[in-house]
Structure 1
Amino acid sequence: MSQSKSTSRRTFLTQTAAATTCIAAASSRRLFAAANDRLNVAFIGVGGRGGVNLKTIAGDASVNVVALCDVNRKNLEKAAQNHPKARTYEDFRLLYDDTNDYDAVVVSTSEHTHAYATMPALKLGKHVYCEKPLTHNVYEARAITKAAADAGVVTQMGTQIHAGSNYHRVVELVQSGAIGKVREVHTWVGRAWGLQSPADAKANGDTVSVQQRPTEAMTPPDFLNWDLWLGPAQYRPFHEVYFPGPKWYRWWDFGNGTMSDLGSHWNDLAYWAMKFDAPKTIEAFGDDPHPEIAPASMSAVYHYDARGNLPAAKHFWYQGTHKPEIWKSKGIPQWNSGTLFVGDKGMLLSDYGKHLLLPEDEFKDFEPPTPFVPDSPGHHQQWIDACRGEGQTGSPFSYAGPLTEANHLGNVAFRVGRAIDWDAASMKVPHADADRFLRRIDPRDGWSLS
């Protein structure tokens, strides 16, 4: 790929990010200038992760819960008991068609409806907090990133660990050159949601080892609106292998397996610290791809061009039984999940809550740099504060969108079955039958992002 094309790709993403940050800050100051303003919030998805988001965000005294939405009536009724003044909905499309008395929206639905619940809010000029992964596919990620920039609102993807002090310190160490120039990063996770044998499923704590789409239909629970849960996905009869979560993670129609689930958290650290933009080439390795179910175990390698004064670098991803060679040879501590930065002056190993400079004896007298990544009041609180014009979010869609794209591209390379070159500006993969994996080709009638 030519240097000019690479530069154009980086310029495109940088300009998008800058536009979103500047406009969002201006918009939030305009809408919530007074410290005692109430932030009226609508919540779409209020069970599981959504229930946590509701409890945490509504716990701020400045937040007023005006609407609740869930396709699961149990979840909706429980949330309504705690917020009796809020309107309730099963279909978020009706919420958006109803009134306009909210300032912000929190989206915590299943992965395949994230974009469909988020896009209307952006078009209405509402601030948005959306759970990870931001979208179900590459096309949706780009569309949501652009819509957020056009709207000029405050956004945050739910990568809560991004606000943790450990990630902040690791970013500072990498970017200050503590281990020299970094040309190689390895990220691995022990979880293995996806296609696997019954024995492996049991060993991984996975309750489903089904190998094919069920042909028999089951009656949905009486509290579940199955048609609305399917959303844009083509209709299929209800079966217990899809619901409740996290069973749906493994099915391509609804999720993207471990990569999109945990990649949002674990690849975030490498993406942030290394200032990655759009990958140039992506390769993936594992068993033959299944047409319906994501892999439990796989690995991928992303090739990134030089970025400013940062050298070209490779980012390796491993899930399930796949691990870095240095891990398998016990050249580093046997952490179940982690990220290893390999520099020309040493290595840096990190997980969510701790990090380690290696070799340890060579860094025993090391003095860390003065902190320059500000501590966060908390991932949810950061979003609330930014909506009120106080500070910025750590994972706005201008950042989370390209990160989500990169994660999805690892799965695209896996499903294509060969290395792919990525032209980020045109959103094309030359010489590969990849378009069907970049977007949902045939969303059901009544479901559109336009």
Structure 2
Amino acid sequence: MNRRELLYGVGASAVGFSLLGLKSSAERSAPSDKLTVACIGTGSQGLRVLLDLLRLPQVRVVAVCDVNRLSSDYLDWGPNELRDKVRTVLGDTSWGANHPGPTSGRDAAQSIVNAFYGKQSGRTSTGCVAYEDFRELLAKQKDLDAVAISTPDHWHAVIAIAAMRAGKHVYSQKPMAHNVWECREMVRVAAQTHRATQVSIFNSNLPASHQIHDILTSGAIGSVRSVDIWTKRASKFWLQGLATPIQADPVPAGLNWDMWIGPAPFRPFNHAYMPFIWRAWYDFGCGAFGDMGEYGFDTLARVLSLPAATRIEASTTDRFPVCYPVASAVHMDFDATSTRPALRINWLDGGIEPARPPQLPVSEQIGEDGEGVIYHGEHGKLLTAFMGQNPRVLSPSGKLEVPFPKVASAPEPFRREAPELGGTASGANAAHYVEWIDACKGGPPARANYAFEAPIVETLLLGCIAVRTHEPLVWDAERFAFTQGSAKATALLKPDYRVPWEIASK
């Protein structure tokens, strides 16, 4: 493979090639060849991952784990999205008929796995084991090759590191980690244990990502000097800017609240924390930046060869003691390299949009559906949707060119209007999972592996610190230290963990 193929994939044809690989692999896979996987975290997103894995013939799901037994208060992307997806995968139009809302938890996940494999074999299946505690799963599940982690952010590193030390390969949700130290430690442990890793970022398998690379490397807009990237999250999907709850709500039946809190400081249960709203709280999530940033930065990092940022500052709407603000702007500076000049990336969330390029015709939108990306080059601009779709090149004279025909978007996990309900995983998702499965079996590293994602996530988490402290930060990645930044900022690089959840360096 040449350098471009290594760094950016093999273009739009890569997806088709990977899917052909999926078919041929399925044809030659015996049951003993299947990758045995446990799904840790089976809320709404964990259930979606579980359903995708069930549909891959190289995988056998053998266990599920969640601190919640069963409830019907999870988040749908659209009307009856979770229920209908389960029905489609199981081929059972009656599933969930008595559930009052989006239903998940370990009991639901276990029953879905057993129903799926039972239908395949033509007899009742009871092979999937359900656990409340991931430590018990890792200790008892002797037939386990890998885990898929779909928990809240504050659990990602604790579980991933424990799994890798137990000899398991790991697939985990974005953001990869909850603090900067965890990023470094996850990479170190993956290298130490020789485990295959993958974060749930599938951009490199999307044709749009390759189109962006082709446009920018062609010199169509010259060297990129700055990038604006914006999203309407969080305000359109969950609330931020919340006052700290002052009363306790009854803990729902079947929920182990102490285990859900895990390494974070303990506080009484309140419905302001879950489900899904946990993203808004410092101790559990990383706000809109953590939720969407790793998606948005993946193509940027590949095309512009981004390390961790060296200078970070942020401004926000009103700040709250333990909750992310309604909206924020984060500005990140990257030093010049031998292949590009110094670069600034401006991140905007909560509905804030960048200045409209004055050359852009009034009939044209700067993004799509309130989100987008603008690459500012030496002699032009490249405008795209948030995931790089539908690129347009804008010259200083106002001429607007569409260099590629519009590509129909594959269903994407975070888009309400396009929930993935089909009987097979989308092209991008299938290739994304298959490259991780191949890595688990000794193939090349998956493209969103921990080592590749770590500098991206390090930058995002430094941005989260800037949002919390409102101070300009100067970062020395080699020394793992701020050369400009307060003691408060330094403390946030590695917060304290609640006993017994400390991550011990070995």
Instruction: Tell me the TM-score normalized by structure 2.
Output: 0.74
1:394–1:92 distance in 2 versus 1, CA, 3 Å? same
Q: 1:256 aligns with which of 265, 286, 305?
A: 286
Distance 1:209 1:320 in 2: 9
Distance 2:449 2:67 in 1: 27
1:363 Cα shift?
Answer: 6.4
SS across alignment from 2:481: coil
Q: Deviations over 1:205-247 (max 9, x none)?
A: 54x57732111111111021111110101111100100111x1
User: How do 1:269-288 and structure 2 match up within 5 A?
Assistant: 269-287=299-317
User: How do 1:381-420 and structure 2 match up within 5 A?
Assistant: 381-420=434-473
1:122 corresponds in structure 2 to: 164
On the 8 A contact 1:421/1:429 being kept in 2, the answer is yes
SS across alignment from 1:73: coil
On the 8 A contact 2:157/2:178 being kept in 1, the answer is yes
User: How do 1:80-119 and structure 2 match up within 5 A?
Assistant: 80-83=110-113, 84-119=126-161
1:197 corresponds in structure 2 to: none
Distance 2:290 2:179 in 1: 9
Residue 175 (str. 1) matches residue 220 (str. 2) = no
On the 8 A contact 1:382/1:393 being kept in 2, the answer is yes
Residue 51 (str. 1) matches residue 85 (str. 2) = no
On the 8 A contact 2:391/2:404 being kept in 1, the answer is no
Q: 2:334 aligns with which of 276, 289, 304?
A: 304
Gaps of 5+ in 1: 1-16, 18-31, 194-203, 369-374
1:445 Cα shift?
Answer: 1.0
2:347 corresponds in structure 1 to: 317
Residue 244 (str. 1) matches residue 297 (str. 2) = no
1:95 Cα shift?
Answer: 1.5
1:288 Cα shift?
Answer: 5.0
Distance 2:137 2:468 in 1: 36
1:138 corresponds in structure 2 to: 180
Q: 2:297 aligns with which of 267, 276, 297?
A: 267
Q: 1:223 aligns with which of 233, 251, 254?
A: 254
1:290–1:275 distance in 2 versus 1, CA, 3 Å? same
Distance 2:240 2:62 in 1: 41
On the 8 A contact 2:241/2:323 being kept in 1, the answer is no
Distance 1:343 1:254 in 2: 38
Counterpart residue type for residue 338 of structure 1: G
Distance 1:364 1:345 in 2: 14
Structure with the greater relative contact order (CA < 8 A, sep ≥ 6): 1 or 2? 1
SS across alignment from 1:429: strand
1:322 Cα shift?
Answer: 2.6
Distance 1:365 1:129 in 2: 36
1:24 corresponds in structure 2 to: none
1:262 Cα shift?
Answer: 0.8
On the 8 A contact 1:219/1:238 being kept in 2, the answer is yes
Distance 2:377 2:52 in 1: 39
SS across alignment from 2:491: helix
Residue 338 (str. 1) matches residue 372 (str. 2) = yes
- Count of residue correspondences: 400
Q: Deviations over 1:18-43 (max 9, x none)?
A: xxxxxxxxxxxxxx9x9641211111
SS across alignment from 2:36: strand
Instruction: Tell me the TM-score normalized by structure 1.
Output: 0.83
Distance 1:130 1:314 in 2: 29
Moved over 4 A (4+): 327-332, 360-368
SS across alignment from 2:259: helix
1:254–1:367 distance in 2 versus 1, CA, 3 Å? closer
On the 8 A contact 1:416/1:432 being kept in 2, the answer is no
Once the two structures are aligned, what percentage of the paired residues are identical?
Answer: 32
Residue 66 (str. 1) matches residue 62 (str. 2) = yes
Pick which of 143-152 and 108-117 moved more: 143-152
Distance 1:47 1:329 in 2: 46
Report the RMSD for the aligned CA atoms in angstroms.
2.5
Counterpart residue type for residue 37 of structure 2: V
Distance 1:214 1:58 in 2: 39
Distance 1:254 1:404 in 2: 16
On the 8 A contact 2:313/2:332 being kept in 1, the answer is yes
Distance 2:375 2:436 in 1: 29
1:300–1:147 distance in 2 versus 1, CA, 3 Å? same
1:291 corresponds in structure 2 to: 321
